[in-house]
């Protein structure tokens, strides 16, 4: 019995960690949410113990004194144990929670990093908006942020209601077609996290994930500067052949690769796709996975608008995968 109870406790504790856990905070707002969760849990346990204790006392303690004395004590237990103490605990939690709201809902300071995120069925378009003018830096299904720096997310939806959520950084905000919502966050720890859509949005809702990488500020600025550069020119013969396959089969009508004639805006920007932490938000970023995605996109992500290019010869698919993986 003890072994079973210990196993259950370990299983429950295992759910408190990981890259997509609100109870393993890596941001200022998530730390506040985690604290209020633990305080609420402690208050719930205290109230439960109090009610169970009162019930046990009433059931098992022998009756003492006359009927008037017993009735008076019973009323005191009900008033203090069932009304006063729970009301004090719950009121304290309410006041504590409301006191957190102004800071969590406050906009990011002027001059903060701004990231425009557009939810689509079923991927995320991410644009880093320049503060001093120029073109935005665009990528897909991945967000990189500097540690210790506030960031303001500008959230939009292209099709249906989505919900932008990075549990380890803070709360979630809906993305509503025709409106722009905002979310301010402040990362406090480096590492790789996972974000997701928290609003059912269609067939591949479960696959609508994205990677969040928190870096030191210097590393982030170097990465951002690299993202502004055009795609590298392939060196290897197979990579050059893959580039020709990419351009010859109309991929540039939907995707853009800066430095080539591909300038499509329907699908994700692929200029540095090989350097991202994942492919399509959840696949490993390896040549074999690029080849699988090219041949079976709508099977791997049901309802995806990208057509499957399984009709390409294996040699061309392999070369195309090597070219895409080389775009770092």
Domain 237-326: CATH superfamily is Cupredoxins -  blue copper proteins (2.60.40.420)
pLDDT 10s digits, 57-103? 777 777 666 677 777 777 887 788 778 888 888 898 889 888 888 88
* 113-228 CATH choice from 2.60.40.10, 3.60.10.10, 1.20.120.1200, 2.60.40.420: 2.60.40.420
More confident residue, 15 or 17: 17
pTM equals 0.85
Report the distance separating Cα 57 and Cα 77, nearest Å.
10
Report the distance separating Cα 170 and Cα 64, nearest Å.
54
The pLDDT of residue 10 is above 80: no
Q: What is the mean pLDDT of the segment spanning 310-318?
A: 93
Find all residues with CB under 8 Å of 223, minimum gap 6, and list them.
144, 215
pLDDT of residue 238: 94
Give the helix, strand, coil percentages of the chain, each rounded to 5: 45, 20, 35
Residue 264: CB atoms within 10 Å? 16
CA 57 to chain CA centroid, Å, is: 47
Report the distance separating Cα 176 and Cα 278, nearest Å.
26
**Could you tell me the residue ranges of all domains in the chain?**
13-105, 113-228, 237-326
**Residue pair 147/214 in contact by the 8 Å Cβ criterion:** yes
């Amino acid at each position: 019995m003890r072994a079973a109870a210990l196993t259950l406790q370990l299983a429950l504790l295992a759910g408190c960690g990981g890259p997509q856990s609100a109870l393993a905070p890596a941001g200022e707002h998530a730390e506040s949410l985690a604290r209020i969760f633990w305080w609420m849990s402690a208050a719930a346990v205290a109230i439960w113990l109090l009610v169970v204790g009162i019930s046990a006392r009433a059931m098992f303690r022998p009756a003492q004194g006359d009927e008037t004395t017993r009735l008076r004590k019973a009323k005191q237990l009900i008033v203090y144990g069932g009304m006063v103490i729970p009301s004090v605990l719950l009121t304290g939690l309410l006041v504590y929670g409301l006191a957190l709201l102004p800071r969590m809902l406050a906009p990011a300071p002027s001059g903060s990093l701004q990231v425009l995120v557009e939810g689509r069925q079923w991927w995320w378009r991410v644009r880093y908006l320049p503060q001093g003018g120029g073109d935005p830096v665009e990528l897909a299904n991945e967000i990189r942020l500097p540690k210790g720096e506030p960031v303001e997310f500008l959230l939009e939806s292209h099709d249906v209601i989505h919900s932008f959520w990075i549990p380890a950084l803070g709360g979630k905000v809906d993305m509503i077609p025709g409106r722009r919502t905002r979310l301010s966050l402040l990362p406090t720890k480096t590492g790789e996290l996972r974000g997701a859509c928290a609003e059912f949005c269609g067939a591949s809702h479960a696959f609508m994930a994205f990677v969040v990488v928190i870096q030191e500020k210097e590393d982030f600025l170097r990465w951002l500067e690299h993202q502004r550069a055009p795609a590298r020119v392939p060196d290897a013969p197979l990579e050059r052949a893959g580039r020709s396959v990419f351009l010859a089969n109309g991929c540039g009508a939907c995707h853009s690769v800066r430095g080539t004639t591909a300038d499509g805006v329907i699908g994700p920007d692929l200029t540095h796709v090989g350097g991202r932490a994942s492919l399509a938000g959840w696949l490993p970023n390896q040549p074999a996975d690029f080849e699988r995605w090219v041949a079976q996109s709508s099977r791997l992500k049901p309802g995806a608008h990208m057509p499957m290019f399984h009709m390409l010869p294996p040699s061309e698919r392999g070369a195309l995968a090597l070219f895409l993986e080389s775009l770092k």
